[in-house]
Amino acid sequence: MKTKQLFLLLFLFCSLVQAQKRLPKISVKSFNENNLDLNLQSMEQVLIISFWATWCEPCIKELNAFNKNLSYLEEELNSKLIAISTDDSRTVSRIIPMVSGNSWDFEVYLDTNQKIKRALNIIDIPHTLVVFQNKIVYEHTGYLNGDEDELFKKIVEINNNEF
């Protein structure tokens, strides 16, 4: 009897862990003060949000990999990639040269006070979210070469209504 109760408790716990988190009502600002409502954007298409900083080497590698596959992400997977910099006021001046120097073609937004990062309970970067219809359907922290392939598979599942 105790085994069945333990199994049921374990099953319920795993179900809760797998439950999708909702994206809180958030908008982000770009350098030119344009706002983007993340909730609205995620209702229209799959939204990939990459949290990064100029001093984070794995972040730069991940964003370079995303940029290399940007046309695949946007055109074939019908998704939108945005990068949210968590650089603070001391390092924010490095963002534009970094974006230009790497020829990144995706939109970059700012979270200099880390309000968004805290709202989403993100501890480490790089941290990537895949959001669809205001639900966070995939999260990944860190970056190793090839991690983007798992993200691409997840987006295919979402587009095929398999999530």
Beta-strand pair 107-110/79-85: parallel
Distance of CA 126 to the CA centre of its chain: 9
Dihedral-angle region of residue 134 (phi above 0 means left; psi in -120 to 50 means alpha; beta otherwise): left
The average pLDDT across 58-79 equals 96
The pLDDT, as a whole number, for residue 163 is: 56
**Could you please report the per-residue DSSP string of 42-57?**
HHHSEEEEEEE-TT-H
82-115 pLDDT per residue, tens: 999 999 999 999 999 999 999 999 999 999 889 9
The pLDDT, as a whole number, for residue 3 is: 54
- The dihedral formed by the CA atoms of 81, 110, 115 and 56, expressed in degrees to the nearest 10: 80
Average pLDDT, rounded, for the chain: 87
- Domains contained in the chain, CATH given: 21-159 (3.40.30.10)
**Cβ atoms within 10 Å of 91's Cβ, excluding its own:** 15
**The pLDDT of residue 143 is above 90:** yes
**The pLDDT of residue 8 is above 50:** no
